[in-house]
Structures are given as C-alpha cells and as structure tokens.
Amino acid sequence: MSLKFFYLQLAFLFTIINFPLKAYCEKQSIPLKVCTTGGFVPFSSYANGKWIGFDIEMIKEFSKTSHFKYKVYNFNIDDIFQALNDYKCDLIAAGITITDERKKEFLFSLPYYSSGIVYMYKKENLEIDKVEKFEMLNSNKYKVGVKLGTTNDYFAVKYLGNTNITKFTDYSEVINAVIKGSVDYVIVDLSFASFVEKKNPNQLNYKLTPEDHELYGIVSRKNNQELINNFNKFLDKWKSSGKYEKILKKYFN
C-alpha cells in the first residue's frame, strides 16, 4: 500500500466519524440507529407489531424535522450503553436518567422529562403503607425488587443495603413480583409507577423516596456532538410549537 493511499483512507475514516451524523445519514441513506428498552412504559414498548411510547414519538418527530430515516433496536438497560459504545446504535432514547457518572463517558442532550424515584407496593400491604420514614424500609425483613442496571438498582444498593434485593431483567417481572407478593416493594421511576398504578388502581400504590428529582435525556457517544446539538435545537422548537405538550398529555394524562 502506498503512503498516499494510506493517508487517503485515514482521511476518509476521519470524515465518517466526525461528519455531522444527520447529514451523513441523508447523504448515504443510512437509517439512524436508535436503541431503546422495550417495556419501560409509557416511554418505550412494543405492541401490535410496532414501537410506541413518548420517546418513540419524540424520535419520530425529530426524524421528520431533521429529514432522516431511523430504525429502532431493543436492548436491556444493562446492555444498552455497551451497544452504543460498540456502534450498534447512534443514540439511546429510553428514559435514561442524566447522572454525573454517565456524563463522564457519554454525551447527553438537554433534559426532556423530569421524574423521580419511588417505592411501589400492594395496597393491601398495610405494614409498608404505614411506614412513616423511608429509612424504615432499610431492614432485612423486607424483600425489594429492582430493574437490573437502572438508577433504581444503584439507588437500592446505596440506600437499602440491609434489605434482600432481587434484580430483574424485565420491567414486567418487577411489577409481577410485587403483585404476586414475592417482594414487599419495588423501586421504580415515578413516571413508570404513575402509569402502572393507573393500570392497576385497586392493587398498587407508591410513595416518593428522597430521590424525588431525576432528569431524562437522549444519549450518544462523545464523537456525536453534532447529533446532540441537532436534537437540542429540535427539542426547543418542539416545545415551543406545542406539540411536546400534546404528546406529553397523550401518555401522562
């Protein structure tokens, strides 16, 4: 291989990696690869042969205004960041909480949703219902359920170390565990708990924990600053247009 040809190849690779992703997708007709976590209602789920949810509609609107195609890929939350690093996706839209630790390795968009962490339990579980302080739940007499790899998982390990923690790989397993009584309560996001409680009004209840404020953002790799910039511009216009509020009411009212 000649030295000239080598430098030409190197320059081409540099262009692909650093070229604004939106423009590259348009030029090459390559769909933007979007990773999500199915089952995290009402943000992302798969039903009747298609993806639905707040995050899904948000990406759909983003693609329309930015003129690119996209394809959705499903990953468990504990695998999704590695998938991003491995270039199996270009961005993550899965109700991902923005944390300082995650920001060290990944790029986050501006927040598009505010939530919190709650504990959810069966209404008939009067012992849990009568707990006056969250700290009282940190006892080895309680069994707690969490979704593996989420901020709820990290929260439980940090604040509920005396309990018996069971980690599930699917959100449906988390809810089934508390409904069937195999755990005393579960740690979940406020947005998720609110949606599930409305679906099970006579069975479940939830209360806030000290972590009552979390912000969700779109995630990408450090070399995709242009993509995140484009999304932030879209988000600002989307909110100003009133369409954001319309979709918000659709999934959270």
pLDDT, one tens digit per residue, over 66-107 is: 999 999 999 999 999 999 999 999 999 999 999 999 999 999
**Per-residue pLDDT reduced to its tens digit, 2-60:** 544 444 444 444 444 444 555 545 554 689 999 999 999 999 999 999 999 999 999 99
Mean pLDDT of 119-142: 97
Confidence grade of residue 120 (pLDDT, cut at 50, 70, 90)? very high
156-172 pLDDT tens trace: 999 999 999 999 999 99
Which pLDDT band, with edges at 50, 70 and 90, does 212 fall under? confident
- Hey, which CATH number is domain 10-114+215-252, 2.40.50.140, 3.40.190.10, 1.40.20.10, 3.10.50.40? 3.40.190.10
| Predicted pLDDT at 14 | 42
CATH entry, 117-208, from 3.40.190.10, 3.30.365.10, 3.40.50.300, 2.40.50.140: 3.40.190.10
Domain ranges of the chain: 10-114+215-252, 117-208
Per-residue confidence (pLDDT) for residue 23, from 0 to 100: 55
Determine the Cα–Cα distance for residues 249 and 238; give it in Å rounded to an integer.
Answer: 14
Per-residue pLDDT averaged across 203-232, rounded?
95
Domains 10-114+215-252 and 117-208 share a fold: yes
> What are the tens digits of pLDDT across the range 108-117?
999 999 999 9
* CA–CA gap between residue 143 and residue 181 (Å, rounded): 9
